[in-house]
Chain A
C-alpha cells in the first residue's frame, strides 16, 4: 500500500492540519464575533489585516513569519529563550504557517454564519434572564455551528495543501516539516521521481475527498440538531 515515507508525510500532514485548526479555532470564533457583532474604530483595517494571508503570496507570508518568529526575530527569540520553543525547522512552525494561511477562511465562514443568527433570539434570551456571556454560549454559538463546521473544513483542507509559507518559514525537513505537498515537490526534484509524485498526488485527492464526506455527514447531523 503506502511506503513508509508516504505514511510519514501523511501522518505529519494530518498532525500539522489538526493542530493548526484546533489552536486557531477559539481565536477565529472571537475575531468572527468581533467582526460580526461589534463596531470599533479601525474595523475596516482590522478586517483587511485578517484577510491579508488570503491575498498575499504565501511565500511572502512565510517570509513575514520568518522575520517575526525566526531565531533572530523578536517573538521567535523570546519563545526560544523563555519557553525553549523553536518554530523554525519544526512541525510546530509548519502548523503555525498553515494556521496563519487558513485563518481568513476560518473567520470568514464563521462570521457569515454568525451574522445570519437572528439577533432577536439573543434579545429574547436576555429577557429570560441570561447575561451576554450565557447568551453567546447557549444561543449564538449553537446557531453558528454550521458556519463553524464549514470554516473548520475549509481551514483543514487549506492546511493540508499549504506549501509556500511552510517551505519558506519552517523549511523542508523530512519527518518534521515535510508534509504531503512538500514531499510531492521534493519527489519532483529528483530524477525518476514522477511515480512517487503521482502517488502523492492521489493521496492528496483521497484525503480531500475523505474530509468532504466527513463534513457532509457532520453537517447533516448539526442541521438536524439545531432544527433548521
Chain B
C-alpha cells in the first residue's frame, strides 16, 4: 500500500499532493504539465519534496519531520520511463539482470523466467537495445524494472512514444502484469482509454494538486471534473460482468446495475468482470419507450443533472440504476423539455462499444486478435 502526502516544487511550479493507493492499478491522470511526473519523481526519490511523508507497505521512504529521505536505490520502486532508457552497452539479458543482481538479501526475488515469458522477451535476450523496435524496448524496460523485485511499479506514460498498434500490444502486457503477477502499479497517463482499460482507481491531478480521487467509474461520471477529464471522450463507466453468450448473432450480454448491455461478442467466460465505457455521444434519449428501432440497449431512467455548457450540445446525466451520460443537442433538449427529474429512455448502440471502451480483469482480449 502506498501512502503519500507531499508538498514541494518543480521549478517554479508548486506541487501539493496527498493520496493512498491499494493493490491493483492506480492511475495518475491529468493534462501534460499538470505535475504528474513531478509527483512520481518525488515518490521515486528523483526529486525532493520540501515537506511531507511517503510510505510504501509500511516502510517510510520520506518523512521531512523525522528527517528520513531514502536514496533512490534504496526505495526499491520500479520505474518505467516514457523513453525506455535501456543501457546501450549491455545486451537485453544484461539490461534485465542489472537490477536483479542488486536485490537485497532477504527480499523476495522476482521469478525471472516467468517475467521473461510473460513479456515474451526470450527471443530478444542476446540482442542489443539499438536493434530493438520501440515496443520491444518498452517491454525490456518493464521486465528490467520487474526483475529488480520492486515493491511498487511506477509507469510514467510508458506508451507515449509508441504508435497505435504497439500501444495496444504493451497495454495487453501491462494487463497481464496486473492480473498474473498481482503487482501494485502507479500508472501515469493523460489518456482516458488507457486508464479505463487498466486502472481500478484514479487520482486526477491539476496544477500540481489532487483535484479528485476515487474509482474510475465514479470519477468519469462526475460533471464537475469534465473540464479535466475531457469533453469529447467523456462518458460513463459501467461495472459489468459477462452474463450470456449468443453465438448465433455474435453478441455478448453484460449485466450491470442498470440492466443488460448487449455488445459485439467478447471471448470471455461467464462471470468475468469487465469495465465498459459508454461515451456520452453514443447515447440517445427518448421520452416514449422506443419501438421498432435498431438499438439493442434501451434503459428507463430519470434525468439527474444537466451540464451548463454554452455550446450547441449539452451533457445529460441519467440515472438508470447506475449513472449514464448522454450528449444531445440543445435544440433536442428544448423540444423534448428535458430537465432534472424527467423520465426518459436512454439508448445505447451495441456497436458503439469497441475494445477501447473495455477494461477489467481480462479486458478486451476477445477483440485483440481481430
Contact = CB atoms under 8 A, between A and B. Distances in A.
Nearest to A222: B89
A127 B89 contact: no
Nearest to A129: B102
Contact of B73 (A126, A226, A227): A126
B308 to A, nearest CB: 45
A130 B88 contact: no
A123 interface: yes
Interface stretch (B2-10, B76-84, B261-269, B311-319): B76-84
Nearest to B85: A124
A220 interface: no
A190 interface: no
Given A127-B73, A127-B145, A128-B98, A227 B89 contact: yes
A132 to B, nearest CB: 8
B145 to A, nearest CB: 7
B103 A225 contact: no
| Main SS class of interface, A | helix
A227 B128 contact: yes
Contacts of A227: 88-89, 128-130
A143 interface: yes
B184 interface: no
A126 B41 CA distance: 13
Interface string A98-142: 000000000000000000001011011111111100100011001
B144 A128 contact: yes
A37 B306 CA distance: 57
Contacts of B19: none
A212 B83 CA distance: 37
- Max count, chain A CB within 10 A of own CB: residue among B85, B87, B88: B87
A124 B81 contact: yes
B71 A131 contact: yes
A152 B88 CA distance: 23
A124 B73 contact: no
Contacts of A131: 71, 73
A228 B87 CA distance: 11
Contacts of B75: 127
Interface string A1-36: 000000000000000000000000000000000000
A225 B94 CA distance: 13
A118 B84 CA distance: 13
A121 B85 CA distance: 6
B71 A130 contact: no
A143 B87 CA distance: 9
B304 interface: no
B78 A226 contact: no
A143 B89 contact: yes
B258 interface: no
Nearest to A131: B73
Interface of A: 118, 120-121, 123-131, 134, 138-139, 142-143, 225-228
7 contacts: A121-B88, A123-B85, A124-B85, A128-B102, A129-B102, A131-B73, A227-B89
Interface of B: 44, 46, 71-79, 81, 83, 85, 87-89, 98-99, 102-104, 128-130, 144-145, 148
Given A123-B85, A139-B87, 7 more contacts: A120-B83, A124-B79, A127-B44, A127-B78, A128-B98, A134-B102, A227-B129
